[in-house]
Structure 1
Amino acid sequence: MPTATLPDRLVLGDVEVDTPVVLAPMAGVTNAAFRQLCAEQGAGLYVCEMITSRGIVEGDRTSLSMLTFAPNEKIRSVQLYGVDPRTVGEAVRILCDAHGVDHVDLNFGCPVPKVTRKGGGAALPWKATLLGQILTEAVEAARPYGVPVTMKTRKGIDDDHLTFLDAGRIAEDTGCAAIALHGRTASQHYSGRADWSSIGELKAAVSSIPVLGNGDIWEASDAVAMVEQTGCDGVVVGRGCLGRPWLFRDLAAAFSGRTVQELPTLGEVMHVMRRHAELLGDWLGEERGCVEFRKHVAWYLKGFRAGSRVRENLGKVSSYAALDALLAELDPSEPYPVSELGTPRGRQGSPKRVHLPDGWLDSRELAGSVDAAAEDATSGG
């Protein structure tokens, strides 16, 4: 279902996002420093790392420490995960009342075995009534504060157990402000290609709230193609921005009809790397920030000719001085490796059998409750 024009903004209840682009939460990546870096590149909705509802309700120190927002985040957006309706509702109230959150997203897309085998993550939407109860509690808890609640899901557990169309109906019926669909099943994990046609199906079935598409957006042109092919109202970007925060600059340009800027040279990439490390240092302190930055080095330098010694040593930096000295050994004029454009980044893996509780697929209704152990802080979707 092609669209004549690209959307130039995203409206979630009373919240308006200048560009219809959402940064997907990624554990250990989308902290306040990374979100600030991305927001410096272009407009969008930048969602913090996923937090469990139980962690919020119980005042877990680690969970609460994740509720840190950058100065340039105009919209405080949090992704929440939970399996118990009342706990999710209470967590939403706390986020709105005590932390001034402007948007809450609920994650039902994690395919990790230790989550799905307890009935959580991407397994939960199979239990349609429970999904509706969780969404209802969240929406009602957020309503007095005028905070929109959205949800993210996958196509289903596998090709024989699809849930996304039911999830779209439930999202509408419970008052969600939008639904995002990752065009893969839980059994696919991050392998193969995302099925954009399922996003188009969902958009055709859901008429009252925005539908966002997720999966295989590696370049701004992919986002444009997804919207044109599916008619979705915006896109959710995850792995495509790893080591490439300027992707949000390109996305902002594409959705506003402007020409996408030229690819950065290695020197420009090095400048972004230094800025990223500095922002992490502002948040965590120089040494810890540099240590945290190490995981990003391979993503930034993917495809460049930087030698193995420099790469290895960059993976050991613990100070700005050490980082600067190593970056000085690289050739700032080296052009961006075009061979990397449009290629997958981050985890991929292969299809896997989805681990589920005994008898989980026998009924769409739940007898009893989901094991509380399903509420694990492992994010994904």
Structure 2
Amino acid sequence: MRRHLFTLIMLAGALSVFAQGHGIQFVHKPWKDIVAQAKAENKLIFIDFYTQWCGPCLNMAQQVFSLPEVGYFYNQNFINAKIDAEEAEGSELAKKYGVRSYPTYAFIAPDTEEMVHRSSSRQTAEQFIATGQGALQPELRSFYLEREYQQGNRKPEFLMNYIRYEHSIYAREQVSTAFDELINGGAKLTQRPVWDLFVGTISGLTPYLKQVSDQYAVFCQLYGQKEVDAKLAKETTYGDLEVIEKFCNFEGKLFNSQMIRIQSALRAKKYDEVIAQIDALIADPAVDQQALIERLKFIARLSYYQREEVPQNWFDKCVEYLQYIAYNQTVRDDASIHQEYAAALEEVIRRQKTKESIPACLTTPPVHGKIVYNLRPDVLKMKPRRNK
């Protein structure tokens, strides 16, 4: 039902994009004028509390708030305010509404100026629209859900709503506890709504994942092998190899096991063993090279090893792997890997024993402009240090 609703919202947003403009339209007025406008239009106020040094805040502004379907939903239903929590009036509002982390999404009733719903963290477009839907429905509002849960409400439909909300703010412990209560109350993974909730909110090598493995044929019949394999593969990306190897055979199990062995050898600094295993995977035509590249991006990044000395042969292989990734990754707009590769090439030049023919700009810090090569946006300020 939630998926169908999101699809309808996206369609409506696409049809209305020319009339509504792109993305969320934020008003920039004094607080009293925002409240007056919300009263006049009979709408809740949505506040994006952000700071100029908050990376997730900038990501949400650039990647989610700007989307037509998100803008359509929020512009239709709320008066939207974007407030810097460390500037002038914004600081007072942040204190008033108990904002302690960023981004915080606050939904305010203009008649009382009380917060009726709150959320936080980086979210997908679908999650963020669901956050707004929660503000519009009293039974989905954060304060209602948390109060009802504290008072002992354990009805299945309520628990599912509570789990979705807690998952949206990355409250993993609350999600895990509530899902256990849902199952203990009689819900089953063989019920489609419960399965969808499990797939979307429960991670790791849980007893529920073992149940899927133990009853693999049953779950494949209910939901299809591709969907079941995807869940098993995702949750066994990391974890106890001994446990994972006792699971049933599924697409991705062998690859995950191989990568876990590589990570274990890397932690033990068995670089020759790591090199042999990675080279074998790259040379194997049966291995999904794009999946391997996604994992290699983190293994081979030299910035990870800056605080420790690594053998020359491992350094050289990391450069080789970064080259392989930069050349072969199908997602060509992922700038991060190209930066890693460029930084690796600069480090190769710095390590040369004979530097007469190397331009000075590649062996010494820049004289002008930025001295660090990274992807940090210019508009993203450094987080201020707090006095303890």
Normalized against structure 2, the TM-score is what? 0.27
Structure having the higher Rg: 2
Normalized against structure 1, the TM-score is what? 0.27
Q: Which has the higher strand share?
A: 1
Q: RCO greater where, 1 or 2, for CA within 8 Å and sep 6 or more?
A: 1
